Structure 1
Amino acid sequence: MNNTSLDTRERRGVRNTHNIISIIFLSLLAVMAFIFSITLLIKNATLQREEEAVRSELDALNNEGYYTEAEARIMLDEAKKEAEEKTKKSFRDMIQQKLEAGEGTTATIRSLFPDQIVVASAGRYYFFPISDQIEHHGFSEGDFAYNDKGFLEYLGPDINVNVKQGVDVSRFQGNINWEKVAASGIDFAFIRVGFRGNTEGKIVLDDCFTDNIEGALANGIDVGVYFYTQAINEQEALEEVQILLDMIEPYDIKFPVVIDVESAESDSARTLNLTTDEYELVAKTFCETVKKAGYTPMIYGNVKSFTLLMDAADVDDYDIWIAYYGESQYYPYHFNIWQYTDSGKVDGIDGNVDLNICITDY
């Protein structure tokens, strides 16, 4: 019986302990809830103060002339439209000024795309990005100017540039007084050997070749030669170059042996549908044969020749004779000879003649 009373007291003690723990736990929860409520009240009060401060700043900004986001967006759109209209007007005015000043359409378009080569052909314009993978000539506008003889001379800062003056001639210049030509300051001459017809493809030798090459050499003028090609395949290119090599064999040729690559502006031209690869094959076949014969090969052409007909990068290994008329060179890549006019005047030659400068020592 005493044991039973002891067990009863122990159970009561355990219940009392549990009650005390529960009271303490609930008290802690109440304290934490109170603290959390106080924290929320403090944060809420802080947010209200910050909101009031922001509103005060916005009111101040509005009072000082600032705008809402919607107002700012409207003003931005209006400013953008106004800027576009001004740009269009400025663009139109610039084009109008260039055309009124006498610049042609092609020259005007080229000035608007300085990072591309612009070529006009058959009523269309073609755009070729200027490549950094091809050597550039490095000359700037103002590096060249005409002297009192009408010859283009170099005025740039590079002391290593040594310009020689030259002409290129064919039967169209008639009888030439080479003694007077030499006395006028001409250092070199390119003599046409012949050409291939652009429709039937017949090879024709230049009637004045012998007189011209012998007259130039007899008066101390260095000579090179050229052939106007209309070959459409490798076999015809070999035919042209072999005839040329036979013709020049007796003479001292110091300047390059040149293939003239130009498109015949005719709907019946035999080269009308030639691809870039086919043009390049003709040029390379000619040049490699010339090289094997011990001469310096060269390709003559205009800007169209080295963009539409051939890829300048594919013929970059050969010397280049570029035809571009004026004091500033538009073609950006390296060249060795520059034909700068087809209406030059030289004592000893009747009428107009092509004038050239050479910047390479041959």
Structure 2
Amino acid sequence: MKNTSQDTRERIGVRNTHNIISIIFLSLVALLALSFSVMLLIKNASLKREEEAVRSELEALNEEGYYTVTEADRLIEDAKAQTRLETTNSIKATIQSKLEAGEGTTTTIRSLFPDQMVVASSGRYYFFPILDTIAHHGFGEEDFVVGDDGFLEYVGSDESIHVKKGVDVSRFQGNIDWKTVKEQGIDFAFIRVGLRGTTEGKILTDDCFEDNIKGATENGIDVGVYFYSQAVNEKEALEEVQLILDMIEPYDVKYPVVIDIETADSDSARTNDLTSDEYEVVAKTFCDTVRSAGYKPMIYGNVKSFTLLMDAQDVDDYGIWIAYYGSPLYYPYHFDVLQFTSSGTVKGIDGNVDLDICITDY
């Protein structure tokens, strides 16, 4: 079939259209390639600037004394070693100065561990964390001064604290002139009922109990009583309590009924092998029975009693009579009565006598 001129023109038009589209497409591709190239150039330039900035910062840090990780680790270890050396030297200097000043070894060690109670026993030292779960007494060394009569006087700012003066006595004080004692301003007295022997466990009553409790009460001195316990089990604790209750029944005992728990100064003492749990059974049995009988229970002891022998927080439900001779008081927890010396003097009592202050109303 022959092509007409019209067909020829149409074919030429189609080819021209295709050519234009191809040119436009290629132009777009070229434009995209150019744009991508420009973007790469910009990105490379940006990275180069960042690299130069980082390099400049590193150079600046190096000039200012900054170090590599390895160098920093070495410097840290050197600093730790220096700190340990300085701390050791400081501790040694503190120990030396305290010992040269005449302070004992135990006192010196205690000053180095203010967050713990340090207890010395049988050539060893024991460390007990000071707990926040038990109420603290809050007294500072400046809160008490020794008065002209030898008693501690409270000079702190707590107006609710009213200190009463007292003594604790046994047959070792002999015959006491209780009228004269009262005239010295004595408010209360703890009278010993008796004791249990440390080796054989035999119960003995105090020879002067009757005279002392009668003499004190008849002269207007409030009384409490105490028993030196060497009970090793619940049965013996009940035996001691029953003796006390029988002996104090005729008298007006306003102050607590006390169990005295201390380590016995004897290698053959029957309580030497008691555990803390066993000591606590004795103390709780005694105190709970006293409370059931209508009296106020209390435990007497020293720092060792409330750390090595018993856990202070396990007997926190009872009155506490703490014995500590020194200042400041090295017992952080609350107490009701403080025995602060065994060498006090009071007119009406021959020789030395234990002096106490009470901060609880009975």
- How many angstroms does 1:243 deviate by? 0.8
Q: TM-score, normalised by structure 1?
A: 0.89
Structure 2: distance between partners of 1:95 and 1:156:
31
Q: Deviations over 1:272-316 (max 9, x none)?
A: 222222222211221222222222111111122222222222221
For residues 87 and 102 of structure 1, the distance between their equivalents in structure 2, rounded to whole angstroms, comes to 23
Residues in 1 aligned to 2:10 and 2:340: alpha-carbon distance in whole angstroms: 123
In 2, the alpha carbon distance for the partners of 1:68 and 1:280 equals: 60
The alpha carbon displacement at 1:165 in A equals 0.8
Call closer, same or farther: CA 1:85–1:294 in 2, change over 3 Å.
same
Q: Go from structure 1 to structure 2 and tell me whether the alpha carbon gap of 1:291 and 1:24 turns closer, same or farther (over 3 Å shift).
A: same
Q: 1:254 and 2:254 equivalent?
A: yes
Query: Corresponding residue for 2:271?
Result: 271
How far, CA to CA, are the matches of 1:197 and 1:211 in structure 2?
22
Amino acid at match of 1:188: F
Q: Compute the displacement of 1:25 (Å).
A: 4.2
* Structure 2 unaligned regions, length at least 5: none
Matches within 5 A, 1:22-171: 24-60=24-60, 62-63=62-63, 65-69=64-68, 71-171=71-171
Q: Equivalents in 2 of 1:253, 1:159: separation in Å?
A: 27
Return the letter of the residue paired with 2:187: D
CA deviations on 1:246-267 (whole Å, 9 max, x unpaired) are: 1112222121111111122433
Q: Does the 8 Å contact 1:327/1:340 carry over to 2?
A: no
- Correspondence 1:184-199 to 2 at 5 A: 184-199=184-199
SS of the counterpart of 2:118? strand
Give the secondary structure class of the aligned counterpart of 2:142. Answer: coil
What one-letter code is carried by the residue in structure 2 that aligns with 1:335? F
Distance change in 2, residues 1:19/1:260 (3 Å):
farther
Q: 1:25 to 1:172 in 2, by over 3 A?
A: farther
- Residue of structure 2 in register with 1:353 after alignment: 353
Is residue 201–residue 230 contact of structure 1 (8 Å, CA) maintained in 2? yes
In 2 relative to 1, CA 31–342 (structure 1 residues): closer, same or farther, beyond 3 Å?
same
For residues 129-179 of structure 1, the C-alpha deviation after alignment (integer angstroms, 9 at most, x for no partner) is: 222222222222211111122211111101111111111111222232323
Amino acid at match of 2:192: R
Counterpart residue type for residue 279 of structure 2: Y
Looking at structure 2, the residues matched to 310 and 172 of structure 1 have their Cα atoms a distance apart, in angstroms, of 28
- Equivalences for 1:187-266 in 2 at 5 Å? 187-266=187-266
The offset of 1:356, in angstroms, is 0.5
**Secondary structure in structure 2 of the residue aligned to 1:97:** helix
Structure 2 match to 1:339: 339
How far does residue 22 in structure 1 lie from its aligned partner after superposition? 5.8
SS at match of 2:40: helix
Which position in structure 2 is the counterpart of 1:301? Answer: 301
> What RMSD, in angstroms, separates the aligned Cα atoms of the two structures?
2.9
- Alpha carbons of 1:123 and 1:33: their partners in 2 closer, same or farther (altered >3 Å)? farther
Q: Distance in 2 between matches of 1:244 and 1:53?
A: 90
Shift, 1:124, TM fit: 2.2
Matched pairs, number: 361
Q: Out of 69-78 and 166-175, give the one that drifted further.
A: 69-78
- Report the Cα offset of residue 2 of structure 1: 8.2
Q: Secondary structure at the match of 1:136?
A: coil
Q: Shift of the alpha carbon at 1:54? A: 4.1
CA distance in 2, matches of 1:13, 1:196: 133
Specify the SS of the correspondent of 1:142.
helix
How far 1:62 sits from its partner (Å)? 4.8
Question: CA 1:25–1:267 in structure 2 vs 1: closer, same or farther (change >3 Å)?
Answer: farther
In structure 2, the CA distance between the partners of 1:11 and 1:165, relative to structure 1 (3 Å rule), is farther
Residue 186 of structure 1 and its aligned partner are, at CA, apart by: 1.8
Alpha-carbon distance, 1:11 to partner? 10
Measure, in 1, the Cα distance between the counterparts of 2:21 and 2:266: 111
Counterpart residue type for residue 230 of structure 1: Q
Q: Contact 1:260/1:301 (CA < 8 Å) preserved in 2?
A: yes
Aligned residue for 1:178? 178
Go from structure 1 to structure 2 and tell me whether the alpha carbon gap of 1:56 and 1:291 turns closer, same or farther (over 3 Å shift).
closer
How has the CA–CA distance of structure 1 residues 322 and 30 changed in structure 2, closer, same or farther, with 3 Å as cutoff? same
Secondary structure of 1:343's counterpart equals: strand
Contact 1:228 1:261 in 2 (8 A): yes
| Identical pairs, percent | 72
Assess, with a 3 A threshold, how the Cα gap between structure 1 residues 253 and 2 changes in structure 2: closer, same or farther: farther
Could you tell me the TM-score, scaled by structure 2's length? 0.89
Structure 2 equivalent of residue 285 of structure 1:
285
Hey, what's the Cα distance between the residues in 2 that align with 1:7 and 1:234? 129
Query: Structure 2 vs 1, CA of residues 22 and 251 (structure 1 numbering), >3 Å: closer, same or farther?
Result: same
Paired residue type of 1:304: K
